[in-house]
Structure 1
């Protein structure tokens, strides 16, 4: 009985593994790399496809995609290409904020945009409002799942998330204040550019947090930080000093 309880407790810990705070090099040396790279790429691909689903739902987008869509309507680039360009420009802002991208950060810039364009090429906007609503709803849920997958791979945050955390660290403001400010700004600018704001924008805002909170603990790959492993081994080694008498 005790053996079964121990196994259950171990499984519960694995299902709710915490996110590790690792440098880009440590992220690649923290073990289970094949599993994590696969999860990262699947998550980023599904994230791009979820964006395409919400666009084809034509009921409003999340703030950043309102901006991407509005900008895409003004320049000779596809939605996915605009997403890539904006991601790269946001990544440049990491430099003064002393943020360092991981492999997942770079992959985020490219893969999501490509997947979004592929999804837009495969999907069309339904004729009926209920079908568009279903497409929007499935897109939002898939977005939350995809976010849990790629964040849980622990290979670096997306460029926009890193911008948020970098500003919060440098200014001393809370994550909530910084995130709200950034998203309000990009939403307003995107709306002025012609990006679609609607019920989907509100639905995304109120649901994406709970969705990621549900999926992320279950999809986070448990790691052992190389730095912490080293510290632990040093701490557990017998001391060569004699105790003071």
Structure 2
């Protein structure tokens, strides 16, 4: 009696494709969590914040909400502005709204406020470097821009003005408003502005994800080219 024929092999996505997606997801959420944690270190250093967190801190002082909750609310509000700009959010966009704020509040709950430059300066430097690492991880995962990035690129597309101009205009308005509300501006704000670009580019190369193999089912692919380095 002959043996029954073997069933034909089922067509599945290559394992490399699943591994590729898993790596990107890990990078996405590790980057977002680290971004929130590094931002919290800048808050505790007390020497000046990055532009959007100047606004978040000012609104936190005004409303009594935690800075992480304010970050979530502002992120959601900015995301609504994508509608008239006809921007499409990705997984990274929506995740950004919640993960960064939660990670920020979680870190602030465990890291005490720094006193004295001997503690503040190392905390500031650590926050900036880790923020660069986080930016490289998050953007290299290519799951869509953060809400604030999308606002700037959307304005660029709708107005025809350069991304640099749109970013400068938005962030100047954000910093001025945040400072007026009680947000912290200082040497850390300037140092962050000068160093975050080179740091992010360095870590974008470090954490670059190879292209997915043909036939894989990886979704939301894309390259980080043109990213403007703000979740």
What range describes the TM-score normalised by the shorter chain of this pair? 0.7 to 0.9
Name the residue aligned to 1:128.
116
CA distance in 1, matches of 2:147, 2:74: 9
CA distance in 2, matches of 1:37, 1:224: 13
Change (3 A) 1:200 1:212: same
Name the residue aligned to 1:96.
84
SS of corresponding position for 2:139 = helix
Q: In the TM superposition, what whole-angstrom CA distance separates every residue of 1:59-115 from its partner, at most 9, and x where no partner exists?
A: 010110000000000113111000000000000011111100000110000000000
Name the residue aligned to 1:191.
179
Runs of 4+ in 1 over 6 A off after TM superposition: none
SS of corresponding position for 1:220 = coil
Change (3 A) 1:112 1:164: same
Name the residue aligned to 1:66.
54
Q: For structure 1, which runs of at least 5 residues remain unmatched after alignment?
A: 1-28, 227-245
- Matched residues, number: 200
Change (3 A) 1:95 1:31: farther
| Aligned-residue RMSD, C-alpha | 1.9
CA distance in 1, matches of 2:83, 2:19: 28
Contact 2:20–2:212, Cα closer than 8 Å, also in 1: no
SS of corresponding position for 1:186 = helix
Give the deviation of 1:225 after TM superposition.
Answer: 9.5
The structure where helix makes up a greater share of residues is: 1
Name the residue aligned to 2:164.
176
Name the residue aligned to 2:105.
117
Give the deviation of 1:30 after TM superposition.
Answer: 9.6
Q: Normalization by structure 2: what TM-score?
A: 0.83
